[in-house]
Amino acid sequence: MNRYNLEAPTPDGRSWLRRLFPFLRWWNFIGWDTLQADLLAGLTGAVIVLPQGVAFAMIAGLPPEYGLYTAIVTPVVAALFGSSLHLISGPTTAISIIVFTSISPLAEPGSAEYIRIVLTLTLMAGAYQLAFGLARLGTLVNFVSHSVVVGFTSGAAILIATSQMKHVFGLFMPRGHSFLQVWMSILSEVEHINPYVLAVAMVTLASAIFFRIVIPRWPGMLFAMIIGSLACLLMDGNQHGIHLVGQMPATLPPPSLPDFSFGTIRQLAPKALAVALLGLIEALSIGRSIAAKSRQPIDGNQEFIGQGLSNIIGSFFSSYAGSGSFTRSGINYQAGAITPLSAVFSAAFLALLLLLIAPLTAYLPIAAMGGIILLVAYHLIDVHHIRTILKTSTGETAVLLTTFLATLFLDLEFAIYAGVLLSLILYLNRTAHPRIANLAPNPDTVGPPLIEAEIECPKLKIIRIDGPLFFGAVNHVGEYLYNIDRKLTRKRNVLIVGCGINFIDVAGAEMLAREALRRRTQRGNLYLCEFKPDANRVLERGGYLETIGRDHLFATQKEAIAEILPHVDTVSCQHCDKPVFKQCVVEPARENR
Amino acid sequence: MSIVTISRGSYSRGKEVAEKLARALNYECISREIILEASEHFNIPELKLVRAIHDAPTILDRFTSGKERFVAFFRAALLTHLQRDNVVFHGLAGHFFLQGISHVLKIRISGDLENRVREEMKREGISADEARMVLVNDDAERRKWGMQLFGQDTWNPLLYDMVLHIGTMGVNDAVSIILHTLDQPCFKSTANSRKRLDDAALAARVEAALVKDFPKVMADAGNGEVFVSVRGSLVDEKIITARVERLAEKVDGIQSLQVNIVPFVVED
């Protein structure tokens, strides 16, 4: 229904078209007002991405214009084919550093061969992402814990800062050095630090910090770069060994052709997978965090497709691997963007700026860029979340530290795999150890008949299993049941309340049947109650219910207690010193004692 | 105590039916008057209003929401006028605005194409082919207008309580059928149905007050409580809410106003 109380027209054949071209889903929402809002947000985004694009390209070991090409092509495709309305894709620090560390051992950074390999890596990463999206593996990203992302970005931040030290100090360092080797070289070359280069870097850094703190709404990085360039001009940088970025070609992203040779593809396959995974994790987590504010539901699979297509198409237009940018997406949303057209406008404005200001980069010192990148790296370290993780969980702390240290000292892609693997192991370990709660009758008249309590009946042990009863958890639960009365020759009756068991597999059902048999042969019994229909179905279909006994399965806790108590050893119950049920009939002498 | 709306094509003799019916019932018969009222009240040229409720929106209109603005003004004027009751309205769009109000009898009158062609030839002094082309184009334009603004075909019989075809049936027969239908209790106005019309009229007036600034505004009213949905970014929620409240201040009958920001609409 709409404002006129008219019935909605019957659905037509456009839904498949909307699935193929997801931008049609929000196309009808566009109006003059949304166009105005998106234009404004796009303009803001273009000014923000200009210095970032140049800086990130430097991190990735590419000529500066490649960062801007990536900021023009990638966001447009990702916005039109992705799910998030506010996510801005393009060059990012984390992807840039992984590109650099993956490809720099294969070719000289900045060389034509290096660019060609990076474009191939981008194409392959895009193909992986597209395949994941088409295979509807969007939910897999949920298994990458936040601690992995925080640990990885913190490690990447330190690597990024390390990679810029030679530009900030004006030192010469051979490429291919590890993290530790770089710092050893810096310490051994302290006396060769170029004070002019350092001064330009520090002036730029200080200006960027000043703008960020005092006038955060201004494009501080852009102004800081201008100030750094002016400082270089004033101190006649050319004469004092300050290297300049050099003039960028004032052209739109030129067509490019990745390297399709089998050798390169085989060499890049694992590296591209790491880039693809990191890109997806970044894009989806940023998309979701913006969506938490905008209340928009995010379709993970569609986002995968958007990211994949953006990298595939980007690789044919001189764009290197990109992903969602937290800074630019946040600014885009805060600037009032309503539809993904803001990303399209931002790219259009950036293309215009590229044509207009490209010659000015001839005056931009590399040291100034280094200063800016130091600030970018610092902001990558998520101190707040690191503190929360350290305080909250030892398991998560282990994941965080593993990923962080692996990022610093091992291959970047391995760091992600290590973090993901460890978090999966921890998750599986948690699932394999479902919580088992001891229950006792509720003394209050209101509330459930059984509640969690320390006390227990010596004849009837009541437990609730909070978690799936699958092959991984069978050992833990079986062990618990065995230990309930390990030392007793005459086994106790056990009632399992199954309201917390969402899923039982064959192994779980077999374990229950075995336990029922074991107890029965030792004068005990196993009872089940409140099992969910799916769990019941597994017990029924596998014939396990026959072994456990159909009369041992109850619908409610009340029914179970009422049926089980008369069958426990009523003679010894009369001498019980721990009566917990109101039905307990205890000898008066004992009761008064 | 009822309201009759008659939707008709050119030269379908719907106007004649409306006028005769109004005379028989001693009701007020209105059509162009609503355009004049809207034009005067909202201070907009009459010609623009006429075009807005006749011509299908252009691509530019889609972005500027120009047509929707004029339609909102027209709707507010029509519903406010209809609150007087005992009215026969003939013209476009009435049936779109009055769905769900039981004491409004919504009628569609169609006529034989050849009869209509003859009328057109007589009035305009043109050939039969020219007249036919004019009528076919006119019908197509109106259907397109309905589809683009309301997502509904004006010729869809589900929009009406009754569809009468003037051919074998004459104007007087049609009037007689409508009079008989109006005698049925289901078309009598009740306190509840009048309240629904009052609520719809209040919502329409609020939309008309806001539509210039918020082209996609949607208002829903009940017992003086008005719920307004406007699209925009949630970042600007406070600014938008304050603006809506300021603009709606001048509309009479609002007891409370709730503003809901719609940040996106994603179709399946």
| pLDDT tens digits, A551-590 | 999 999 989 988 888 887 777 777 777 788 877 776 665 4
Q: Among all residues of chain A, which has the CA nearest to that of B203?
A: A3
> Would B99 be classed as within a structural domain?
yes
CB contacts of A294 in chain B (<8 Å) are 233-234, 263-264
- Binary contact (A32, B267; C-beta < 8 A): no
CATH number of domain containing B257: 3.30.70
> At B73, phi and psi to the nearest 5?
-65, -45
Q: Among all residues of chain B, which has the CA nearest to that of A298?
A: B266
Using an 8 Å CB-CB cutoff, list residues of chain B that contact chain A: 62-65, 96-97, 99-100, 150-152, 158-159, 203, 207, 214-216, 218-220, 231-236, 263-268
Query: Which residue from A477, A448, A446 is spatially nearest to A463, judged by alpha carbons?
Result: A477
Residue A342 near residue A45 (C-beta atoms within 8 A): yes
> Would B169 be classed as within a structural domain?
yes
Q: Among all residues of chain B, which has the CA nearest to that of A296?
A: B264
> Would B128 be classed as within a structural domain?
yes
Is the same domain home to B56 and B134? yes
Query: Which residue from A45, A54, A63, A104 is spatially nearest to A368, judged by alpha carbons?
Result: A54
> Would B267 be classed as within a structural domain?
no
CATH number of domain containing A527: 3.30.750.24
> Would A393 be classed as within a structural domain?
no
Is the same domain home to B219 and B183? no
Residue A329 near residue A87 (C-beta atoms within 8 A): yes
Is the same domain home to B168 and B240? no
Element (H, E) at A461: strand A460-466
Is the same domain home to B116 and B51? yes
CB A147: neighbour CB atoms within 10 A? 28
Domain holding B227, by residue range, is 213-262
CB A439: neighbour CB atoms within 10 A? 21
Helices (H), A316-393: 326-334, 341-357, 366-380, 383-392
> Would A4 be classed as within a structural domain?
no
What does the block give as tokens for B82? Answer: 């209809």
Instruction: Indicate the residue of A34, A294, A335 with minimum beta-carbon distance to B234.
Output: A294
Is the same domain home to B72 and B159? yes
Is the same domain home to B243 and B121? no
Name the amino acid, one letter, at A118: V
Instruction: Quote the number of domains for chain B.
Output: 2
Residues 6+ apart with CB under 8 A from A429: none
Is the same domain home to B161 and B247? no
> Would A398 be classed as within a structural domain?
no
Cα torsion at A220, A225, A229, A232 (round to 10°)? 90
Size of interface A-B (CB pairs under 8 A): 89
Element (H, E) at A324: strand A323-324
Helices A471-484, A412-432: inter-axial angle, 10-degree rounding: 40
Q: What is the 3-state secondary structure (H, E, C) of chain B?
A: CCEEEEEECCCCCHHHHHHHHHHHHCCEEECHHHHHHHHHHCCCCHHHHHHHCCCCCCHHHHHHCHHHHHHHHHHHHHHHHHCCCCEEEECCCHHHHCCCCCCEEEEEEEECHHHHHHHHHHHHCCCHHHHHHHHHHHHHHHHHHHHHHHCCCCCCHHHCCEEEEECCECHHHHHHHHHHHHCCHHHCCCHHHHHHHHHHHHHHHHHHHHCCCCCCCEEEEECCEEEEEEECCHHHHHHHHHHHHHHHCCCCCCCEEEEEEECCCCCC
CB of A32 within 8 Å of a chain B CB? The answer is yes
What does the block give as tokens for B108? Answer: 């569609």
CB contacts of A337 in chain B (<8 Å) are 233
Element (H, E) at A528: strand A525-529
CB of A37 within 8 Å of a chain B CB? The answer is yes
Name the amino acid, one letter, at A77: V
Shortest CA gap A213–chain B (Å): 22
DSSP code at position A10: P
What does the block give as tokens for A42? Answer: 């796009």
Shortest CA gap B123–chain A (Å): 35
Q: Mark which of A340, A358, A381 sits at the end of a domain.
A: A381
CB contacts of A15 in chain B (<8 Å) are 268
- Binary contact (B268, A26; C-beta < 8 A): no
Element (H, E) at A78: helix A64-81
> Would A86 be classed as within a structural domain?
yes
Shortest CA gap B247–chain A (Å): 17
- Binary contact (B65, A294; C-beta < 8 A): no
CB contacts of A334 in chain B (<8 Å) are 235
Is the same domain home to B142 and B80? yes
CB contacts of A39 in chain B (<8 Å) are none
Is the same domain home to A117 and A50? yes
Is the same domain home to B238 and B105? no
Is the same domain home to B258 and B142? no
Task: Give the position of tokens 């009328």.
Answer: B119
Helices (H), A137-219: 146-169, 179-188, 195-214
Query: Which residue from B25, B11, B47, B19 is spatially nearest to B166, judged by alpha carbons?
Result: B11
CATH number of domain containing B145: 3.40.50.300
Shortest CA gap A338–chain B (Å): 6
- Binary contact (A296, B97; C-beta < 8 A): no
> Would A107 be classed as within a structural domain?
yes
> Would A488 be classed as within a structural domain?
yes
Q: Mark which of A381, A399, A423 sits at the end of a domain.
A: A381
Shortest CA gap A81–chain B (Å): 13
What does the block give as tokens for B18? Answer: 């409306």
Shortest CA gap A284–chain B (Å): 18
A496 forms bridges with which residues in the sheet? A463, A528
- Binary contact (B263, A29; C-beta < 8 A): no
Mutate: best of A1, A2, A6, A38, partner B, most B CBs <10 A: A6
Q: In which residue ranges of chain A is pLDDT below 50?
A: 1, 590-593
Shortest CA gap A31–chain B (Å): 4
Is the same domain home to A349 and A441? no
**Quick one: pLDDT at residue A277?**
87
- Binary contact (A26, B219; C-beta < 8 A): no
> Would A537 be classed as within a structural domain?
yes
DSSP code at position A210: H
DSSP code at position A7: P
> Would A495 be classed as within a structural domain?
yes
> Would B206 be classed as within a structural domain?
no
Is the same domain home to A332 and A462? no
- Binary contact (B150, A4; C-beta < 8 A): yes
Name the amino acid, one letter, at A49: V
Residues 6+ apart with CB under 8 A from A271: A102, A103, A121, A413
> Would B34 be classed as within a structural domain?
yes
- Binary contact (A6, B264; C-beta < 8 A): no
Helices A93-103, A32-59: inter-axial angle, 10-degree rounding: 30
Task: Give the position of tokens 């990702």.
Answer: A78
- Binary contact (B234, A295; C-beta < 8 A): yes
Residue A369 near residue A203 (C-beta atoms within 8 A): no
Q: Mark which of B187, B203, B222 sits at the end of a domain.
A: B187
Cα torsion at B151, B157, B161, B164 (round to 10°)? 130
- Binary contact (B152, A6; C-beta < 8 A): yes
DSSP code at position A365: B
Residue A380 near residue A153 (C-beta atoms within 8 A): yes
Is the same domain home to B115 and B47? yes
> Would B198 be classed as within a structural domain?
no
> At A475, phi and psi to the nearest 5?
-60, -45
Instruction: Indicate the residue of A18, A35, A296 with minimum beta-carbon distance to B63.
Output: A35
What is the separation of C-alpha A518 from the centre of its chain, rounded to a whole number of angstroms? 45
Mutate: best of A3, A12, A16, A302, partner B, most B CBs <10 A: A3
Domain holding A349, by residue range, is 33-145+154-168+182-244+254-381
What does the block give as tokens for B112? Answer: 């034989």
What span, in angstroms and rounded, lies between the C-alpha atoms of A3 and A1?
7
Residues 6+ apart with CB under 8 A from B23: B29
- Binary contact (A37, B232; C-beta < 8 A): yes
Instruction: Indicate the residue of A4, A7, A295 with minimum beta-carbon distance to B263.
Output: A295
CB A195: neighbour CB atoms within 10 A? 11
Shortest CA gap A3–chain B (Å): 6
Q: What is the pTM of this model?
A: 0.72
Specify the 3-state DSSP secondary structure of A436: strand
Instruction: Quote the number of domains for chain A.
Output: 2
Is the same domain home to B172 and B230? no
Residue B217 near residue B247 (C-beta atoms within 8 A): no
| Tens digit of each residue's pLDDT, chain B (268 residues) | 689 999 988 788 889 999 999 999 999 999 888 888 888 888 888 888 787 777 777 777 766 667 778 889 989 999 999 998 889 999 878 888 888 888 999 999 988 888 888 888 888 888 989 999 999 998 888 888 888 778 888 888 989 999 999 888 889 999 999 999 999 988 888 889 999 999 999 999 999 999 988 888 899 999 889 999 998 888 788 889 999 999 999 898 899 999 998 887 766 6
CB of A15 within 8 Å of a chain B CB? The answer is yes
Shortest CA gap A18–chain B (Å): 7
Is the same domain home to A570 and A451? yes
